[in-house]
């Protein structure tokens, strides 16, 4: 019977990451990864995370929604306590979609750190597993997040998020790097439907392209921009709100900080021009892609959010992207979704969205 041999590190990690791992092992191993601070009990209890089982539970209050609105400049009326009823039977207040993405990052981060070693132990000799674990913990970040759930969470309703699948994929060939993938399930107390959050947890993010190269290639145009400076106080507030430990900038913070702000700014400009007759917009499905430049962000950096429509307005629905760049126009984040425009219901009669200009430009 032949003796089992582990594959070489470069066959598992790929050429780029195996080189980074070699450099990593030459570093001073006395320098340990920072141990996260412990959050105050009232914060840790609010967003409860069972790392062993991969379960997060959170019951938002209206105060939570208001704090998030202030933090992200998302003052959409559907998140307010006096939210009216809209055509189609939709009524707020409802939890922000970006809030759920931030909670997912908290769960995934802690679950990954606790469980990734068991997923890779069959690929590496036990003598280097300790270094591999430190390497993965140091480099691993969310690269892609896909959200899909048509149910809305309201104040007082418990949100439950569960990790349902966690996989490690080796490099396979010379053109790829290894990666982790995770599937989470969203449970709503008043619905049998189950939402999905798919996450690619990467060790190497794709290179940040120049925004205007992307726009030229795809024939797209920016219709609205806004600027945000990442303040340390905002970062601290964000980490406390979503029970995210550690000293590094949360990877999803820059995109959730900017996308609602520029989206609402674009809608306000459209309403002033009277291109559309609507009261608000909502979405149930979105994708976030993160690029390599996001690794270099720090408190005090200035971000630019760009609103880019990618299709004509059809039946009150607009497909759009928000690109978040640095001041050199390097893409750091890409947010994709479909916005549904809604009208408030008057006299208990559903109203149709009146579109005066069928193209957003």
**Lookup: tokens for 321:** 């992207």
Report the CATH fold assignment for 9-355: Thiol Ester Dehydrase; Chain A (3.10.129)
**β-pairing, 55-58 with 159-169?**
antiparallel
Q: In the chain, which ranges are continuous DSSP H helix?
A: 9-13, 15-25, 41-46, 62-72, 97-120, 129-139, 211-218, 232-241, 253-273
**Lookup: tokens for 61:** 């209050």
**Residue 254: what are its φ and ψ, rounded to 5°?**
-60, -35
CB of 194 closer than 8 Å to CB of 187: yes
Residue 220: which residues within 8 A CB-CB, separation 6 or more?
A: 214, 308, 309, 310, 321
Average pLDDT score over residue span 258-269: 86
**Lookup: tokens for 201:** 């947890």
pLDDT tens per residue across span 133-145: 989 988 889 999 9
Confidence of residue 313 (pLDDT cuts 50, 70, 90): confident
pLDDT at 291: 97
pTM (2 d.p.): 0.89
What residue has token string 């840790």?
44
Question: Is 102 a residue whose pLDDT tops 70?
Answer: yes
Higher pLDDT pick, 17 / 1:
17
Question: 97-120 and 253-273 are packed helices; what angle lies between their axes, rounded to 10 degrees?
Answer: 150
Smallest CA-to-CA distance from 226 within 79, 72, 121 is with 72
């Amino acid at each position: 019977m032949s003796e089992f041999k582990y594959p070489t590190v470069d066959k598992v990690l790929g050429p780029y990451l195996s080189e980074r791992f070699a450099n990593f092992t030459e570093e001073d191993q006395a320098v340990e990864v920072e141990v996260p601070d412990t959050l105050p009990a009232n914060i840790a209890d609010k967003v409860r995370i069972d790392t062993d089982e991969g379960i997060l539970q959170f019951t938002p209050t209206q105060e939570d929604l208001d704090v998030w609105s202030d933090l992200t400049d998302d003052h959409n009326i559907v998140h307010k306590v006096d939210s009216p009823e809209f055509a189609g039977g939709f009524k707020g207040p409802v939890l922000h979609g970006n809030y759920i993405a931030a909670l997912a990052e908290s769960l995934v981060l802690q679950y990954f750190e606790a469980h990734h070693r068991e997923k890779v132990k069959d690929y590496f000799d036990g003598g280097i597993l300790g270094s591999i674990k430190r390497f993965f913990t140091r480099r691993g970040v969310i690269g892609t997040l896909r959200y899909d759930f048509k149910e809305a969470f309201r104040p007082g309703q418990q949100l439950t998020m569960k990790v349902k699948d966690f996989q490690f994929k080796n490099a396979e060939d010379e053109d790829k790097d290894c990666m982790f993938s995770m599937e989470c399930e969203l449970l709503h107390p008043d619905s049998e439907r189950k939402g999905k959050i798919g996450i690619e947890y990467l060790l190497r993010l794709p290179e940040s392209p120049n925004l205007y190269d992307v726009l030229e290639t795809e024939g797209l145009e920016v219709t609205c921009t806004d600027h945000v400076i990442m303040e340390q106080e905002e970062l601290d507030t964000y980490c406390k709100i979503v029970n995210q430990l550690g000293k590094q900038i949360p990877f999803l913070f820059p995109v959730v900080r900017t996308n609602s702000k520029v989206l609402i700014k674009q809608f306000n400009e459209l309403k002033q021009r009277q291109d559309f007759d609507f009261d608000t917009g909502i979405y149930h499905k979105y994708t976030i892609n993160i690029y390599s430049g996001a690794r270099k962000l720090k408190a005090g950096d200035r971000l630019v959010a760009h609103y880019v429509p990618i299709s004509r307005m059809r039946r009150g629905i607009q497909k759009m992207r928000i690109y978040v760049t640095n001041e050199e126009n390097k893409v750091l984040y890409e947010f994709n979704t479909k916005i549904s425009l809604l009208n408030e219901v008057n006299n208990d009669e559903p109203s149709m969205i009146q579109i005066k200009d069928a193209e957003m430009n």
